[in-house]
């Protein structure tokens, strides 16, 4: 065990320390699922599994509270796997390396997985509570561990309709201490495919590899209002502007790639381009100059943004000048960032768009665009706009992974209880909020009509990026709020 296991509350942190050692990529959560089942088996707890791989662990109420109504606690097993390009790390086998920086726990150059590892660790700790203990009382619990949340909420979407009996649910996947969430955005992904016929590279041509990096990235819902740079779009912007500056036919693209997850703001992107040897210096200078202007524009939020331009081996093929212009024009034309703010909740982003990933070489470029909105009609309209831009460029576009939002219920009995408990236990009134991100509550609520739901969690900052960190003291307060809420419900 590492130093993490000695933090308070130890029951929670010991499980999180173990979670750090378990590979848990989206769609590959089997090792994490086995760990959950092993803890359940060790304590003789009933389990349910559906065809998708979701797991429910049934925990009877403690002595004197066995017959009350069940409460569902829910979290997801997978994590976003992001790392800095200069960090040697294999998420399929390497244990995440935790580091303590003041009051924060972070990881060495990778995502930490506190999203949603802290919530899962809390559920595992509750599984080990002695049913006859006097220090923690709770009614019957159904602990729902879902899979594949981070790549489209597909675990919740495939949740069997006979897994839960409880009619109140506490989601443990929020990331702002002191806030209780009662609503979330819905979303979908627009998949774009632009065919681009490759052409041979003439003998004597030279090639340049262009990389941009140092961007902060982050969660494309939670952090979209921070106006951070999108490495994919800004590389395309620099390349497109350099074409004008150095001459429209000065270079051709051979490849273009950036971003790694549909729900993260891209931090890095790279391209290979070919040009005549006589144009090499002019193209390199144009790129450096255009990116310098971009870096100056974004300096307040992206102080470490950088570009690298270096010679590389010339590929055998590259897109012709017209195809290069179409590819760059499409990437730069797609909307990115906040599109509308909520009329109902001050400060809440209602609708946003993220150019999440791009990958192109040889015969086509593939682009994923993430669309989010708490208003279904606005979500649909923005998705149609993205698809229209794609089709005007000659690309194909289709919608995938559509999931519903979660409409707030300000009359929720569960909300009333949590507000009362937080005021008593922590001495503060929670801020009742909605979040501009997809939570599984929207889908679960649609599958189980009438489910009373809230969401809360510790302070987790910069999720989905290597800057991810969790504030250690907030985890203890999160645990106190959770335990006291369950005692009140019992």
Which are the catalytic amino acids? 78, 149
Greatest C-alpha distance within the chain: 84
Taking the C-alpha atoms of residue 56 and residue 455, their distance in angstroms, rounded to an integer, is 18
For residue 435, the cross-strand partners are: 184
CA distance 65 to 490: 6
**Structure tokens given for 186:** 């819905």
Closest CA to 123 of 489, 488, 486: 486
For residue 323, give the H/E element and its range: helix 321-333
| Residue 153 contacts residue 440 (beta carbons within 8 Å) | yes
**Measured in Å, how far apart are the chain's first and last C-alpha atoms?**
34
Residue 186's DSSP bridge partners are 373
Which H helix or E strand runs over 91? none
Which two tokens mark 485? 């809420």
In three-state form (DSSP H/G/I as H, E/B as E, the rest C), the secondary structure along 10-39 is HHHHHHHHHHCCCCCECCECHHHHHHHHHH
Closest CA to 390 of 336, 324, 327: 327
Instruction: Tell me how long the chain is.
Output: 490
Report the alpha-carbon distance of residue 179 to residue 437 in Å, rounded: 15
Residue 259 DSSP code:
-
490: closest CA among 160, 140, 13?
140
Closest CA to 403 of 456, 453, 440, 354: 440
> Structure tokens of 235?
């590389």
| Strands of 278-430, DSSP E | 306-312, 317-319, 337-341, 349-361, 364-373, 396-403
> Which of 298, 232, 225, 238 has the alpha carbon at shortest distance from 260?
232
H or E segment to which residue 348 belongs: none
Residue appearing with tokens 């999720």: 463
Cα distances from 16 to residues 32, 94, 307, in angstroms, run 12, 15, 37
Identify any residues that bridge with 76 across adjacent strands, giving them in sequence order: 146
Classify residue 366 as left (phi > 0), alpha (psi -120 to 50) or beta: beta
């Amino acid at each position: 065990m590492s130093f993490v296991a000695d933090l308070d509350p130890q029951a929670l942190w010991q499980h999180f320390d173990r979670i750090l050692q378990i590979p848990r990529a989206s769609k590959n959560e089997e090792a994490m699922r086995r760990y959950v089942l092993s803890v359940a088996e060790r304590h003789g707890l009933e389990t349910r599994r559906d065809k998708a791989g979701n797991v429910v662990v049934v925990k009877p109420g403690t002595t004197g509270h066995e017959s009350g109504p069940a409460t569902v606690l829910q979290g997801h097993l997978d994590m976003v796997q992001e790392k800095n390009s200069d960090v040697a790390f294999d998420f399929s086998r390497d244990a995440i390396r935790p580091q303590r920086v003041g009051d924060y726990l972070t990881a060495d150059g990778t995502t930490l997985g506190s999203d949603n590892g802290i919530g899962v660790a809390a559920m595992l700790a509750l599984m080990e509570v002695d049913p006859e203990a006097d220090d923690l009382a709770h009614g019957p619990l159904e602990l729902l561990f879902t899979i594949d949340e981070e790549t489209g909420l597909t675990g919740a979407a495939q949740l069997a309709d006979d897994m839960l009996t409880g009619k109140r649910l506490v989601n443990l996947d929020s990331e702002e201490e002191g806030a209780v969430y009662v609503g979330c955005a819905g979303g979908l992904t627009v998949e774009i495919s632009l065919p681009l016929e490759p052409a041979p590279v003439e003998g004597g041509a030279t090639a340049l590899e262009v990389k941009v990096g140092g961007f902060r990235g982050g969660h494309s819902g939670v952090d979209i209002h921070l106006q951070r740079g999108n490495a994919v779009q800004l590389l395309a912007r620099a390349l497109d502007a350099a074409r004008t500056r150095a001459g429209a036919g000065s270079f051709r693209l051979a490849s273009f790639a950036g971003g790694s997850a549909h729900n993260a703001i891209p931090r890095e992107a790279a391209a290979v381009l070919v040009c005549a040897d006589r144009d090499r210096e002019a193209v390199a200078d144009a790129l450096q100059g255009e990116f310098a202007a971009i870096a100056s524009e974004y300096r307040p939020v992206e102080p470490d943004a950088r570009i690298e331009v270096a010679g590389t081996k010339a590929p055998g093929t590259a897109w012709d000048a017209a195809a290069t212009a179409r590819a760059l024009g499409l990437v730069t034309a797609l909307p990115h960032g906040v599109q509308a703010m909520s009329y109902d909740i001050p400060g809440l982003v209602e609708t946003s768009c993220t150019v999440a990933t791009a990958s192109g070489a040889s015969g086509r470029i593939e682009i994923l665009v993430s669309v989010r909105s708490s208003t279904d009609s606005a979500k649909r309209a923005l998705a149609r706009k993205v698809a229209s831009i794609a089709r005007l460029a000659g690309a194909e576009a289709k919608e995938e992974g559509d999931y519903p939002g979660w409409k707030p219920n300000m009359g929720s009995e569960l909300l009333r209880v949590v507000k009362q408990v937080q005021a008593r236990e922590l001495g503060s009134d929670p801020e009742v909020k909605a979040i501009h991100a997809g939570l599984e509550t929207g889908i679960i609520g649609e599958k189980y009509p009438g489910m009373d739901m809230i969401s809360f969690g510790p302070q987790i900052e910069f999720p989905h990026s290597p800057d991810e960190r969790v504030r250690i003291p907030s985890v203890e307060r999160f645990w106190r709020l959770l335990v006291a809420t369950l005692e009140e419900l019992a």
